[in-house]
Amino acid sequence: MCGIIGYVGRKEQRDILLGGLRRLEYRGYDSAGIAVQRNGSLVMTKVKGKIRDLEKAASSLDLTGSVGIAHTRWATHGEPNDINAHPHTCCGNRIALVHNGIIENYQSLRTLLKERDHHFTSDTDTEVLVHLVEEHLKDSYGHSLEEAVRLALNEVEGTYGIAVIDAEQPGVLVAARRGSPLLLGIGSDEYFVGSDVAAFAEYTREIVYLNDDEMAVLSPDGYLVKNLQAEEMNPDVEKITWELGQIEKGGFDHFMLKEIREQPQTVLDALRGRVRPDTGQVKLGGLQDHQDLLKNAKRIIFTSCGTSWHASLIGRRLIEEFVRLPAEVEYASEFRYSTPVFTPGTVLIAVSQSGETADTLAALHLAKEEGIPCLGVVNVVGSSIARETDTGVYLHAGPEIGVASTKAFTSQVTVLSQISLLMAQLRGTLTEERQKEIAGELVRLPGKIQQILDDTDCIEKIADQFAGADNALYLGRGYSFPVALEGALKLKEISYIHAEGYPAAEMKHGPIALIDDDMPAVILAPGDHVYEKVVSNIEEIRARRGRVLAVATEGNEAMADLADWVIYVPETLDCFYPLLTVIPLQLLAYYVAVRRGCNIDQPRNLAKSVTVE
Ligand code: F6R
């Protein structure tokens, strides 16, 4: 959701800023811009389109200088065009500012600033920020850029990650955050700001996370972090643990395909050192000191969005089956504005790949305010949700760049399985034998996922047939219902085919009206305890000439007569089928989107990490 990079130092900054933007492009890709400070003025360009369009526009500019900022946008206020692109500048063209977030009181500030003769050019909420900073920089006040930004931020409501430079203050960059991610990269005699560490990971491995209501002042000589009352803070410097190769395509055509194919490894990484198949025991570092909480919990509420919400639906079933505890799943965007009843013993689990999703963060705040213990199941280390929950479990899936989430989903389900198993172990709700059976199967899953990925020819052939569809129905029951939702989401978000996920038996309460020979139905039919019921649902579709793609368990020869197409997955326990059956659905969506010529890693209207509500 908008990507920011800023640099102060003595290197040639064109490649640093444009290269950083390319790594952030997954966050937003409708327009982009760059500004550097040079000989007492600003050199700037911004364009509608992708980073490659910005590179063309910037090719004739001299971007040498000691400080610069750049931005890739996902529009909230004002359509994507050259004028609404960031950076924004003030009336005197002295200040340039990039912003990720939403300024909620921008209308009243705009009116006020217009009364003071500020001239606005864009339709964005962001532009008020730069005029407000200008107002505080006016000679009569004599403020530094740092002070002007601080005073301006004290007047705004909403969320922001910003980076600001001033033509008249050489080598100084001011950054600040509230509710939108921003971190600093600490090099030697050079410093970076970025919405994500990927922006500058090739130059430094040392980072400082900014907290909400903190600002940083960077120059080639050093950096300072302060709060909005101008008090100096003493932040920890942390190290990036992953390798640069993890944020590169590594020979794959798309990040999405690379990430789908990484899943045997990422599921293994989510299990590594945590589960012992010989004893059935689970040990999760982050929960070691919170065993009483897990033992005494009376109810679990999961909150999340999108794909993470689908993983949470599986988490809920796992908790109910393994721990016999009531569990619910709430859309974070609904939960945050509801009046939930938190009964004693409630524990909240926030599930998020990015750890920055604005709605999930707000839902977490709501629970925290009520004194509810909160756990995080998060991928991005050091992200807001990871830091604001009482404790949690990391996915260790490595950076997920493809906008459509794939490997995060399977890692989330793997971690939720282990949390459920750990709770069962602490509360004695499963027999030792069953505990061992589940743990033993968990560690076999990476190999089974690999088996599916080793032979994808049949999925590609089916994709040829699906590529012309306008609609598709995804159906599943029990543990497979969330997989139906996830499969439909994958197809619609990257191929733009309209797809709906439904509990298979709900079909006859309405959606069956849509079935005809133009409407393919994807049916999750693994060999679990509801298999026979799902077969009846397949018959109902066939009776109406619907075409059926079934995902079934290896060895189920009968399915070949029932369905038009079958994709087989290895056998596993009922509760783990989602980790296998989702893989062909991810691949199907991917191959269909390739055949339709879609931009897979940057689907229209979408962006990774939804940091606005
Ligand atoms: C879909 C997708 C989104 C995210 C959702 C939550 O492919 O990626 O639905 O799952 O925006 O994001 P996180 O998990 O970062 O909180």
| pLDDT under 50: residue ranges of the chain | none
Handedness of CA 594, 597, 598, 601 (dihedral sign): positive
The Å distance, Cα 24 to ligand 1 centre, comes to: 16
Alpha-carbon span 41 to 113, nearest angstrom: 23
Are 20 and 49 in contact by the 8 Å Cβ rule? The answer is no
Task: Give pLDDT, residue 139.
Answer: 62
Residues with CB under 6 A from ligand 1: 305-308, 352-354, 357, 360, 404-405, 489, 493, 609-610
Which of the following is catalytic: 46, 50, 258, 608? 608
Task: Give pLDDT, residue 249.
Answer: 86
- Rounded to two decimals, the pTM is 0.88
Output the six-digit token pair for 352. 């998020």
**Catalytic residue at 458?**
no
**Amino acid in position 474:** Y
Task: Give pLDDT, residue 140.
Answer: 59
Q: Which atom of ligand 1 is nearest to the CA of 409?
A: 10
Task: Give pLDDT, residue 469.
Answer: 94
Task: Give pLDDT, residue 247.
Answer: 82
Strands ordered across the beta sheet of 471-476: 498-503, 471-476, 520-525, 547-553, 565-569
Residue 418 burial class via C-beta count within 10 angstroms: exposed 0-12, middle 13-18, buried 19 and up: buried
Substitution site in 259, 357, 590 for ligand 1 pocket (most atoms within 8 Å of beta carbon)? 357
The Å distance, Cα 425 to ligand 1 centre, comes to: 30
**Catalytic residue at 461?**
no
Alpha-carbon span 593 to 132, nearest angstrom: 45
Name the closest-CA residue to atom 16, ligand 1.
352
The Å distance, Cα 352 to ligand 1 centre, comes to: 7
Strands (E), 290-437: 299-304, 327-331, 346-352, 374-378, 391-394
Which of the following is catalytic: 2, 90, 575, 598? 2
Other Cβ atoms closer than 10 A to 410: 30
The Å distance, Cα 221 to ligand 1 centre, comes to: 39
Task: Give pLDDT, residue 141.
Answer: 65
Alpha-carbon span 144 to 447, nearest angstrom: 59
Are 134 and 91 in contact by the 8 Å Cβ rule? The answer is yes
Residue whose C-alpha is closest to residue 532's, from 559, 561, 497, 510: 559
In 3-state terms, the chain is what percent helix, strand and coil (to 5)?
40, 25, 35
Name the closest-CA residue to atom 9, ligand 1.
306
Alpha-carbon span 584 to 483, nearest angstrom: 11
H/E element, 275: strand 275-276
**Neighbouring residues of 517: CB distance < 8 A, sequence distance ≥ 6:** 545, 546, 547
Beta-strand pair 238-239/299-304: unpaired
Are 191 and 184 in contact by the 8 Å Cβ rule? The answer is yes
74 dihedral zone (left: phi>0; alpha: psi -120 to 50; beta):
beta
Q: How far apart are the first and last CA of the chain?
A: 11
Substitution site in 356, 405, 606 for ligand 1 pocket (most atoms within 8 Å of beta carbon)? 405
The Å distance, Cα 307 to ligand 1 centre, comes to: 5
Beta-strand pair 88-89/67-73: unpaired
497 dihedral zone (left: phi>0; alpha: psi -120 to 50; beta):
beta
Are 422 and 284 in contact by the 8 Å Cβ rule? The answer is yes
* Helix/strand/coil for 251: coil
